[in-house]
Amino acid sequence: MVTEDILQAIHIAKQYAKDNFNQKYAPAHLLKALLNPQFNFMRELDAKGIDVFYLDEWADIRISEYPKSSKPSDDPAPDSGMNAVLTEAEDIAKKTGDETSFVPILKALVTPGVGFSHDQLKSLPLTPADLSSMFDSGTAKPQNNSEKTKIAPTGSSTLDKYCTDKIKHLKSKQSIPMIGRDEELKTITEILNRKLKPHVIVIGESGVGKSTLIEGFCHKIGDKSILAAFNNASVFEINIGPLFAGASYKGEVEDRLQKIFNEVKGYEKPILFIDDIHELFDSNQGNGIGSIIKSELSKGDITFIGATTTEKFRKSLGKDDALSRRFETLEIHEPNQELALRMIKNVISHYQTHHDFSIDEEGLKESIRLSKRYLKEKSLPDSALDLIDRTMSSLKVAKETIKKELPELKKQLSAINDSIEEIEKEEKMLWLHSDIQNKTGKLFSEDEDNFSSVASDKKIAHLESLLESLERLNEEENIVSPSHLSHVVSGITGIPAGKVKSDERERLLDIENTLKKRVIGQDHAVKVVSDAILESRSGLTKPGQPIGSFFFLGPTGTGKTELAKSLADFLFGDENAIIRLDMSEFKEEHSAALLYGAPPGYVGYEEGGLLVNKIRQKPYSIVLFDEIEKAHKSVFDVFLQILDEGKLHDRLGKEGDFSNSVILFTSNIGSDFIVKSFEKDIIPKSNDLIQLMTGYFRPEFLGRLTEIIPFAPISRKSVSRIFDIHLKKELLQLLEKLDITLHIDEKDKEQIALMGFTPEYGARPIKGTIRNQLKRPLSRMIISNEIKKGDSLKVTLNEEGAIKFTIEHERPILQDSN
């Protein structure tokens, strides 16, 4: 079957081998030669709907894999693969009777195991069967592009491997039509109906409904309720995971993509949807993939729809002007709460059927409120639906678990009643309570976090009541209540359920009185902080910023840290919800890098930024920058970003969100001025404090603070009240668990309190006084069994001012008769 054209093609193949410094010419050289423009074969293939440009690129990739010599060969010899191809082509020509065209050679080239391996041909969108269906019927004449023969996808097609037929998929799962996005749907239709550049990227935050919007578009196509131009459109979603999975050689992902593009062109009006399209360009093959996609965008044979977040678009696609100008962007925003409620109502029946739980409108509204307030990582309606789904699932698991475990839990409670040793009994009650909490997910109990502080004799009654309420659960209807939603949010955020519930309005109005119970002698500071928190919660502040940013000024031991703890307890239900950074550790110029991460190539780069990591772990917290005046000036650039935007990105691109936190700065600067002002009963004004601080801090930093708050020096009158608070927390509550009471006369209490007070250190030594003068002596008495359950203690001061303990036993101690 040797013809002039075949000899000329072999000659060109040899020349390609010489040009690439290959000692032998091989099947890839021959494939590229067949596509040389001097032959009509390239136009024949193009007329048949075969992407000849991709074939040419594929041949180049294979040629690049051949070994090269230091200098070109004068007369390259054929390699074994080349001989095998020519032999196979001759056999095919005899069978088909076609001994003059290039078709038998191309069939031989695309036959696995002849010129190329099976793995190599996986990325080639052409098989001998495809060629037979095109050429063996005798219709091998070129056609116009408008009359290209389309290859219908088969069960083993590339589309089946890496794509999902969206319209077919939506029909099979009977998904729900979208509501509330009519304007956006109209815009997408208009963009995709354009003559030039009919491509769109839908941009929006996670959970706003980008994918749902595309599904709504597909529904319209499937129902034929869209513009007539789209009645015969096909929509395929590229699944990025499988597309990249198992790619072993350089360019394989690009090969797979090209096969998808070639195959999808077999449909009348093909549309490709790429969710999280940024992932294609974030990969190592990003440049090659971008080139292929840009090529297809320019051809206009395929319509593309992409979806990504605003941030990811800015970081990847937005940087490529050539790519971004071929797409029109459509930004969709989070729906308001009324629209979100409509959207949720439209789909909630499917969740209720799946879990066999129902939820009323009050519960739906509460899910939206809680999601909007506490679950800000996602947007409505997705965040609310996730919360409802999680709550229903948790309820179902908890109820079935309790049904199985209740008999065993009752046995454990009965065993506790039979316990004699008090310590053993206490431990068993705590373990049983913890076991119930774990099995129920805290969904059916109120205020359970304080169980450990309940007196021992009341714990048994509490556990009995709890088990009785759990036993009644099986008789109750499967209904999700706002309380259930609150408990799930509590589990996600770490904020106690009582603080999450919707009665927060009354609690917020009482914030000043609540804080004053713990922070003594700082009424001005408490009022200023309370007013600022109320302002933030009212919605009258800029969205996205921290709840508040305060600068606490004043001498040590005046209650700055105590107010921070009190605020953490009030807002987040945990006084330890504090991220504290000692700014004396950030004195050096490079210190700022510790907060947002080391540069690429430096030690610690992969760990990210210290502050970003901490706020991602505890987004609901007080962020306390202690002794801020000791920080290097470069650190203040970080503060400016946090105070202004409420966000901070580290070197890895991770985002820290401070919108659910309170930012506190503390310093002793100006303490003398503040002390003298308060001694004159004058509260230092903000302008005076700013003027005092200007020598230490930049004006733009001070201007972004919510308030600068001076702390008054602790007076002798306040010491006794502070002592009472710490005494209760550090000692009395612990003694109550042991059923031991302690009493101190007011006069003696004042004297003991003053032992822990100095003007220089304020109230800071009071805890040490309680520990050294009361706690440690009592510890010895408890260990030695000198004090027992039911005893009372009276603490007095003798004439020398030393502390004396008087024990009053509940009942006489019986002597051993022996």
Per the DSSP assignment, residues forming a β-bridge with 792 are 741, 808
pLDDT at residue 770 tops 60: yes
158-333 and 716-808: identical CATH topology: no
Task: Tell whether domain 4-135 is in CATH 1.10.1780.10.
Answer: yes
> Long-range contact list for 642-647, CB < 8 A, 24+ apart?
642/546, 643/545, 643/546, 643/549, 643/701, 643/704, 643/705, 644/545, 644/704, 645/544, 645/545, 646/544, 646/545, 646/546, 647/544
The span from the CA of 138 to the CA of 120, in Å, is 30
Give 452-465 pLDDT, tens digit per residue.
666 666 777 778 77
**Stretch 19-37: mean pLDDT:** 90
Q: Among 366, 363, 308, 372, which residue's Cα sits nearest to residue 336?
A: 372
Question: What spatial distance separates the first Cα and last Cα of the chain, rounded to whole Å?
Answer: 123
For the cut 80, the answer to whether the pLDDT of residue 20 exceeds it is yes
Rg, C-alpha atoms of the chain? 38
Q: Is-contact 66 278, C-beta < 8 A? A: no
818 pLDDT exceeds 60? no
Integer Cα distance of 24 and 67 in angstroms = 9
Is residue 93 predicted with pLDDT exceeding 90? no
Q: Is 271 helix (H, G, I), strand (E, B) or coil?
A: strand
Q: Inform me whether the pLDDT recorded for 197 exceeds 80.
A: yes
pLDDT at 151: 39
Instruction: Specify the CATH class of 716-808 in words.
Output: mainly alpha
CA separation for the pair 497, 504 (Å, rounded): 11
DSSP string, 122-133: TT----HHHHHH
Q: Quickly state the pLDDT bin for 312 (edges 50, 70, 90).
A: confident
Q: What is the mean pLDDT of residues 300-317?
A: 88
- pLDDT tier, 287 (very low <50, low <70, confident <90, very high otherwise): low
3-state secondary structure 722-740: HHHHHHHHHHHHHHHHCCC
Partners of 662 in beta bridges:
548, 622
H helix or E strand, kind and range, residue 807: strand 803-808
Distance, CA of 744 to CA of 742 (rounded, Å): 7
Q: How many CB atoms lie within 10 A of CB 590?
A: 12
Residue bearing the bigger pLDDT, 282 or 53: 53
- pLDDT reported for residue 450: 63
CA atoms within 13 A on the CB side of 430: 13
CATH class of the 502-710 domain in this structure: alpha beta
Specify the higher pLDDT residue, 814 or 790: 790
Omega cis (within 30) before 684: no
Token couple for 619:
């987004």
Structure token pair of residue 788: 């027992």
pLDDT score at 729: 84
pLDDT computed for residue 496 by the predictor: 67
Q: Hey, CA dihedral for 318, 321, 322, 327, is it positive or negative?
A: positive
What are the domain boundaries of the chain? 4-135, 158-333, 339-493, 502-710, 716-808
Q: For residues 798 and 747, is the Cβ–Cβ distance under 8 A?
A: no
Q: Which of 31-35, 212-216, 303-307 has the highest mean pLDDT?
A: 303-307
The single-letter code of the amino acid at 305 is: I
pLDDT of residue 593: 79
- pLDDT tens-digit readout, 342-357: 999 988 998 999 999 9
pLDDT greater than 80 at residue 644: yes
Residue owning tokens 């840009």? 294
Place of tokens 């955020």: 493
149 confidence band (pLDDT: 50, 70, 90): very low
The DSSP letter of residue 144 is: -
pLDDT digits (tens, 9 = 90+) for 612-627: 889 988 888 999 999 9
Percent of the chain with pLDDT over 70: 89
Per-residue model confidence (pLDDT) at position 141: 37
Please check the confidence at residue 441 and state whether its pLDDT lies above 70: no
Q: What is the DSSP letter of 576?
A: T
* Mean pLDDT, rounded, for 39-62: 84
CATH of 339-493, one of 3.30.420, 3.40.50, 2.60.40, 1.20.120: 3.40.50
Higher pLDDT, 502 or 372: 372
For 263-277, write each residue's pLDDT tens digit.
999 899 999 999 999
Q: In this predicted structure, what is the pLDDT of residue 601?
A: 64
Q: Which residues contact 472 (CB under 8 A, 6 or more apart)?
A: none
Position 188 scores a pLDDT of 95
More confident residue, 253 or 505: 253
Q: Distances from the Cα of 118 to the Cαs of 92, 114, 130, 161, 719, in angstroms?
A: 19, 9, 16, 17, 85
Q: In angstroms, rounded to a whole number, what is the distance separating the alpha carbons of residues 465 and 433?
A: 12
CATH fold label, 158-333 = Rossmann fold (3.40.50)
With 80 as the cut, is the pLDDT of residue 760 above it?
no
What's the mean pLDDT in 209-223? 91
Q: What is the pTM of this model?
A: 0.58
